[in-house]
Structure formats: C-alpha cells, structure tokens
Chains A and B, each alone.
Chain A
Amino acid sequence: NAGVTQTPKFQVLKTGQSMTLQCAQDMNHEYMSWYRQDPGMGLRLIHYSVGAGITDQGEVPNGYNVSRSTTEDFPLRLLSAAPSQTSVYFCASSHGGTGVYGYTFGSGTRLTVV
C-alpha cells in the first residue's frame, strides 16, 4: 500500500521553464489537494478536486494548473516558473469530505526556481 506518491522529490527549474509535479494515490480517495509550504506561513491550498473531472481553486492558484482525469492521479502544472514559486509542495488525499478519515499526505516535492 503506497499511499500518496509524489514525484520528483527535488527539482531545480530556471525562470520561465514549465514542469509537472506528479501525485498518485492508490486508496481510491475521492478528494485530492495540492498545498505549498513556505516558512512562517504554514501550508496554503493551491487547487483541489472532489472527484475525477472536478477541480477548483484554492487560496493561491495563480501560476498553477491542475486536471483530474482519473481518481488516482492529480498532477500540478507550473506553466512558466517564477522564483516566487520556490517552495515545498504537498499532495494530499482523503476518503470523503468530512475529515473523519483524516488526510494522507505525500512526502513532498522541494522546488527551487532560479
């Protein structure tokens, strides 16, 4: 049981480059989310999905795109990387929307944009 798998674990990008952060879960969770973690700011929600084909914006969506074509996968795309997107990114999933079952987080991706 792998849980939530994020790849890559580390990435360095040049300003203006694009890339996709991958997130996959094998628990058949309906809910999936992307957060970014910055020092002194906790985790902030970027985008989330309540099921395949359904996505919505979170608190800090600018500069990021998502899609959810399957229940298992929820990739996060950076279209044109900027230094302000240097951060640690976490993907999380949950079975149902009540929080009763808790959230499972991936191990994070540390992204540096130079």
Chain B
Amino acid sequence: AQTVTQSQPEMSVQEAETVTLSCTYDTSESNYYLFWYKQPPSRQMILVIRQEAYKQQNATENRFSVNFQKAAKSFSLKISDSQLGDTAMYFCAFMKQGETSGSRLTFGEGTQLTVNP
C-alpha cells in the first residue's frame, strides 16, 4: 500500500514571497503519478500540478513548480510570488499507474497555507 505524508500542518508566507510545501511518499511501484491539489475555503478541490514519475523534468505551471526527487520519494511544491488567493489547504496525492488503479488517489494529510498581506 502507498502512503503519503505532509509533515507541515500549517504554513504562512508574506504576499509576493516564495514558499515550499513538503510531501514524501512511500511506494514499491516504479510507475506512478503525483499531484498537488488546492482546496480553498469554498471546499472545491482544484488540481494545481501533476508529475509523471517516469519524467525526470520537474513540472511547472506558471507560479507553481515541483521538486521531484524519485530516489528520495519526495515531491515538494514551490509557490513563487505568493498571492492572497493562494490561501488554501494543499494536498499531495499519489496514484499508481494502471487502468484498474485509475480511480485510486492516495492523499496526504494536507498543509494549510496562509498568505499574509
């Protein structure tokens, strides 16, 4: 079974600064996907960024980027130029590759990020 751990329950950052959220995972699989989801106070789950494990290049989406260290089983999220709208709960998630595994996301505990003006 896979496990995902987010060791930072809460973090805060000043507007316009950079913050990094940590995520580690444990798996015996070699092919998988990793995700970061954002959950603002509206409760809606929003996909921020995804990473395929077979790709060495770190994924980026505008101000969001990841540091994917496969050997260390680490998948951190960096948010640059933080904005007030980035205030949310952030979840790291793992999914094993494979047709029958396609609906099985394993989530971490979440990190509550607060961006201060």
Residues of A within 8 A of B (CB): 31-33, 35, 40-45, 48-50, 58, 88, 90, 92, 94, 96-100, 102-103, 105, 107-108
B102–A42 touching, CB < 8 Å: no
A101 to B56, CA, bound (A): 20
A contact residues around B110 at 8 Å (CB): 40, 42
Give the residues from 17 to 41 in chain B that come closer than 8 angstroms, CB to CB, to chain A.
Answer: 33, 35
12 contacts between A and B (CB under 8 A): A31-B103, A42-B108, A43-B91, A50-B102, A88-B43, A97-B98, A97-B99, A99-B35, A99-B102, A100-B52, A103-B47, A108-B43
- Specify which chain B residues have a CB less than 8 angstroms from the CB of A48 in the assembled complex: 103-104
User: By the criterion CB–CB under 8 Å, are B102 and A97 in contact?
Assistant: yes
Do residues A97 and B107 form an inter-chain contact, with CB atoms below 8 A? no
Expressed in whole angstroms, the minimum distance between the Cβ of A35 and any Cβ of chain B is: 8
